[in-house]
Amino acid sequence: MATRWLGAPIKRNEDPRLLVGQGLFVDDVQLPGMLHAAVLRSPHAHARIRRIDVRRALEHPDVLLVLTHGDLPPSLREPLPKLIPHPDLKHHKTQYALAPDKVRHVGEPVAFVVATSRYAAEDALELVEVDYEPLPAVVDLEEAAAGRPALVHEDIGTNVAAHSVQRVGDYEAARARADLVVARRFVVDRGCASPIETRGVVAQWDPRARQLTVWDSTQAPIPIRNGLAALFGLAQKDVRVIAPDVGGGFGPKIMMFYPEEVLVPLAAMRLGRPVKWIEDRREHFVATNHERTQIHDAEIALDREGRILGVRTVFLHDAGAYIPYGLIVPIVAECTLPGPYRIPNYHAEFRAVFTNKTIVSPYRGAGRPHGVFVMERLLDLAARELGMDRAEIRRRNFIQPHEFPYDVGLIYQDNAPLVYDSGNYPAALERALEEVGYCRWPEEKARYRAQGRRVGLGFACYVEGSGIGPYEGCRVTVEPSGKVYVATGVGTQGQGHATSLAQVVAEALGVDVGDVHVVTGDTGAFGWGTGTFASRAAVVAGSAVHLAAQAVRQKALQVAASLLEASPEDLELADGRVRVRGAPSRSVSLGEVARAANPLRGVIPAEWEGPGLEATRYFAPPRGTFSHGVHAALVEVDPETATLRFLRYVVVHDCGTVLNPLILDGQIHGGVAQGIGGSFFERLVYDDSGQLLSGSFMDFHIPTAVEIPEVEVIHQETPSPLNPIGAKGAGEGGVIPVPALLAQAIEDALDDLELEILRMPLHPDALFELIQKASRRTP
Amino acid sequence: MKPPVFDYQDPASVEEALELLARHGAAAKVLAGGQSLMPLLNLRLARPEVVVDINRIDALDYLTEESGWLRVGARVRQRRLEREAEVRRMVPLLTEAVRFVGHPQIRNRGTVCGSLAHADPAAELPAVAVAVGARLVARSRSGVREIPAEEFFTGPLTTALRPDELLAEARFPCTGPDWGWAFLEVSNRHGDYALCAVAAGVRAGDGRIQDARLAYAGAGPVPVRLREAEAALVEHSDLEEGIRAASAEARRVLQPDGDLHASSEFRRHLAAVLTARTVRLAWTRARTRSGGAHA
Ligand SMILES: Cc1cc2nc3c(=O)[nH]c(=O)nc-3n(C[C@H](O)[C@H](O)[C@H](O)COP(=O)(O)OP(=O)(O)OC[C@H]3O[C@@H](n4cnc5c(N)ncnc54)[C@H](O)[C@@H]3O)c2cc1C
């Protein structure tokens, strides 16, 4: 092969188009006669709806439709579908398209207005009269678990949706043998994803063709299509869902269904005109899913040498008002907690609890940062108690490279055993420590101290479950032009699939990566698949792409063999041509091969398996694959102003075979930025009545280039044995260990204070309080 | 996030603008850079019947020096304060402070007078105005009045401007030769409104502080000048003692409200910390300017 595309740092195919503003995002969809929708949302966290009067809104001259719960067809009056059931999820309560008789969080949709412009639609929202009877709001997670001050769903008699226990070995027995037990309470507060593009839906109904077309800024267009077909009684072939360019997903855009995803199509069908709804940022804060609040009561039991005998975590998970997505986040949290360490005895137990807050579903990390925070903090505290070096305690507990596959003993989010496929944990840590100069750190730190500066070194290790099933598929087609078209069901939200997947194809077919056009997220182009989540696209779709491209390659060799009168074994693919090895003048272009594979007359040999240079393949991994990494950073703390500055940030990252290091670096940079945001800047703060106090970018502080350090990425490659390309997921590794790392770094910077960071995210005010309290404790 | 219906006027002259303000009074809102008004409109928190856009009024676009005062017309963008070297010479505190206002994109549109008229208690420029003793020129059809900065800010987002008045100009006194100025701020993220910000000026003479100015943003309902703390700086011949006393004074006197970003206690603490840091910086600069680097 002349060029090796796989693993090359290729600039993204999609960038020129996006950079000059030629992307197609949902709000760019303009259709003749299009109408605009707005949603009336509950101003209360918890209230009964006594009466809704829409008459004045309907009188507005620009208004065409006002919907409340009673106006919906029977299939939409029911709670929306349950996504991922689980035996422990006793009360799988899901959200409504429009609230029937009660609202359960601020922002829950109550009425839906369609007008000739968004302005008029918003004017009309003010004309809808809703008579609410406010109820006590369930805000505090522990109170909620105890059923106080009210029940979010009265009919189930509890706020606890699920109680789940997983055990490995016997923690109690291990504890009884331990030389040291460290127990603490850890809290991770709410956060949200904040993609640049908020959600949005455009729907068009063609009454003659009976075709519904929906543009949706979603991570899962195919499940959305399937669900819409079921709800509206249409054939799947008559519903086309397109997730065009999507301006960031990060998890919350895979829901099925957000109310607007059914209301917009319904309105388009009722009115016979296209309808657009674009979520504004204020809506986004309350109407797009959140993540993260968990309270962990955790402990670790060790022997004198710092070897882990067991870990226990008993935690509460804040599900928000409904739990459509099931138990994924708490399960991922408990399954990520053990990380790269051998933990012979483990007890994980959680309650998922309803509160009067926005629904929780996975957001980049999806429980992993919580698990890692708890585990890494426990090790830090244990090391301190044992007087042991914090790197050493980790070294003593790492799973070793020869121990793979390693069965953790738990059941993972895909209901399969949690078995690590491969990795090299000790090497990653040593590399990171070397890079930040850990062995020279005491002197370095003293030098800073002498200048009056407080600088801390922090690091944290993690394992990232990724690349789970069930399957993805791909069709690769070589057209007579010689260009290659690739269609797959996973959507793309900025991950660069149009490039990384194209590289897989270019590698197999010996074509230029620029000649490979990847279509994702259009059910009209490829109709089988699940979606982009759990860092699985490169692994699962990437493998399907590989299989399809290899099949096309075989076929190209077969067809070309007859054209060139050579045997397939003597042929090679390069530069968009099939050549006879050693006889470069005897060659034919891939386009010509494609044409020959689709003759107008004659016979197609049976071994071609049909016409054209085309193949479709599916890949269904046996189970997930596990990436891992170590982050290490130097953080300067100004103890007087309780503010931070990152001086260095190093990531050692192992996600198996690297398809494109540039794209991978971008994933990691973005992840670290989001991790830093979620650890120190961004906060969702609710008051006692369940009102979100930080519901705008004035108060929800996403860090900017000023706050985010340059991130140095080092790739370690331990391929996965579970898929043909050896890839592992890389979508979440950037965020996962950041809270743990930051806590350790701050404690190191302020090590003359008795300071324990047990809660994330921090922010200057919280850090100030910690410092004040610690100062008072030490004379 | 779409505004309700309003009437839009974009007069080309000050007279026309004043005429519109006189006619519509409290039902009208001036639109300058729009960096605060547009969000308020979009969030439907402001519901004016008429928006009077002053961006077409070229006569308000001037930045000039006159008899020891820097005059800033109502259409001057914040960015100009950073770009024109003369501003640093005349009112260095403005140059120091303006870089903390949002981001370049914001400052390219936002006006100096708009920030003053908007009167956010955590905003930087109002604190500067109070620190240096700026005078704000309000014009209406019935005449012109000059309001001292300290009387201009009457509460959070409220000023002494009457509904029919346009803040036509802000006047900042040019700094004296022996003065040094400093502005520091703590915010959660660069470009945010201050959790607390301090503007300090000191006049050096005979190796000590002869005169001082201290003003605070984010430390109360309006930007405040702390004369007690200023006096403490002048009274103590030892710089660090003076700083300690001034910081203690700031912590004692200021009564900022707490909110989700910072408790009242944290803000007072920051006020004290920043008092010390700004005064030290201002002192260094004053001594460099007055040429006396000796003790
Ligand atoms: C992302 C972002 C970050 C920001 N960060 C900061 C910050 O850190 N610090 C800070 O101080 N500001 C910040 N701002 C606000 C910015 O400085 C605004 O420019 C300023 O507050 C208002 O100036 P403007 O010219 O945009 O006024 P406008 O938004 O046009 O008007 C604001 C108000 O003042 C009135 N007004 C304006 N001009 C006059 C006049 N000449 N006479 C009478 N009334 C008038 C208007 O009627 C309106 O009520 C930020 C804004 C944004 C969008």
Cβ atoms within 10 Å, residue A387? 7
Quote the pTM value: 0.95
* Centre of ligand 1 from the C-alpha of residue B113, in Å: 8
Helix (H) or strand (E) holding A309: strand A308-320
The rounded Å distance from CA B99 to ligand 1 centre is 15
> Would you state the pLDDT for residue A730?
86
Encode pLDDT of B25-52 as tens digits.
999 999 999 999 999 999 999 999 999 9
Q: How far apart are CA A275 and CA A271, in angstroms?
A: 9
Chain B residues in contact with A641 by the CB 8 A cut-off are: 186, 270, 273-274
CA–CA gap between residue B294 and residue B280 (Å, rounded): 15
The letter for the amino acid at A18 is: L
Q: Is B266's CB within 8 Å of A642's CB?
A: yes
CA-nearest of A561, A718, A738 to A651 is A738
Contacts of B186 in chain A (CB under 8 A): 641, 643, 764
Whether residue B123 has its Cβ less than 6 Å from ligand 1 = yes
Residue corresponding to tokens 């929202």? A125
Q: Give the distance from residue B99's alpha carbon to the nearest chain A alpha carbon, in angstroms.
A: 13
pLDDT of residue A59: 98
Query: In this structure, are residues A166 and A411 in contact, taking their beta carbons and an 8 Å threshold?
Result: yes
B14 part of contact set with chain A, CB < 8 Å: no
What pLDDT score was predicted for residue B294? 39
Q: Is A123 on the interface with B (CB under 8 A)?
A: yes
Closest CA to A521 of A23, A30, A84: A23
Q: Which residues pair with A300 in a beta bridge?
A: A182, A311
Mutate to test the interface with B, among A640, A644, A676 (most CBs of B within 10 A): A640
Cis check: omega of the bond before A761, within 30 degrees of 0 = yes
User: For residue A85, what pLDDT is reported?
Assistant: 92
- Which of B115, B188, B261 should be mutated for ligand 1, with most atoms under 8 A from CB? B115
What's the CA-to-centroid distance between B138 and ligand 1, angstroms? 17
Position A20 scores a pLDDT of 96
pLDDT at B248 over 80: yes
The average pLDDT across B285-291 equals: 80
Write the residue with the smallest CA distance to atom 28 of ligand 1: B34
The two structure tokens encoding residue A35: 């109408």
> In a mutagenesis test of the A interface, which of B6, B38, B184, B189 is the best target, namely the one with the most A β-carbons within 10 Å?
B189
B272 to chain A, minimum CA–CA distance in Å? 10
Helix, strand, coil percentages for chain B (3-state, nearest 5): 40, 25, 35
**Residue A27 touches chain B, beta carbons under 8 Å:** no
Rounded Cα distance, A540 and A546, in Å: 10
Distance CA B195, CA B207 (A): 33
pLDDT at A2: 39
Interchain CB contact of A641 with B (< 8 Å): yes
Q: Which residues pair with A588 in a beta bridge?
A: A578
Query: What does the pLDDT read at residue A533?
Result: 72
Q: How much is the pLDDT for B123? A: 97
* pLDDT attached to residue A776: 62
Identity of the amino acid at B127: A
Instruction: Pull the structure tokens for residue A141.
Output: 């997670």
Could you give all domains of chain A from N- to C-terminal order, each with its CATH number?
A: 34-135+199-278 (3.90.1170.50), 136-189+290-398 (3.30.365.10), 412-466+624-779 (3.30.365.10), 469-619 (3.30.365.10)
What confidence score (pLDDT) does residue A1 get? 38
Which residue stretches of chain A have pLDDT < 70? 1-3, 534, 776-779
Secondary structure E strands in chain B: 7-9, 28-31, 50-53, 63-66, 69-73, 135-140, 143-148, 153-155, 158-159, 166-173, 179-186, 196-205, 208-217, 224-225
Which of B41, B76, B101, B184 has the most ligand 1 atoms within 8 A of CB, as the residue to mutate? B101
B residues 78-107 lying closer than 8 A (beta carbon) to A = 103
* Cα–Cα distance measured from residue A485 to residue A61, given in angstroms and rounded to the nearest whole number: 48
pLDDT given for residue A169 in this prediction: 97
Question: Is B35 touching ligand 1 by the criterion CB < 6 Å?
Answer: yes
| Amino acid in position B229 | A
Q: Are strands A472-478 and A613-619 parallel, antiparallel or unpaired?
A: antiparallel
Q: Which structure tokens are listed for A163?
A: 């109680």
User: Is the Cβ atom of B195 under 6 angstroms away from ligand 1?
Assistant: no
| ipTM of this complex | 0.94
Domains and CATH numbers, chain B: 7-53 (3.30.43.10), 58-173 (3.30.465.10), 179-288 (3.30.390.50)
Encoded tokens for A365: 């990390």
HSE-CB of A258 using CA atoms within 13 angstroms: 33
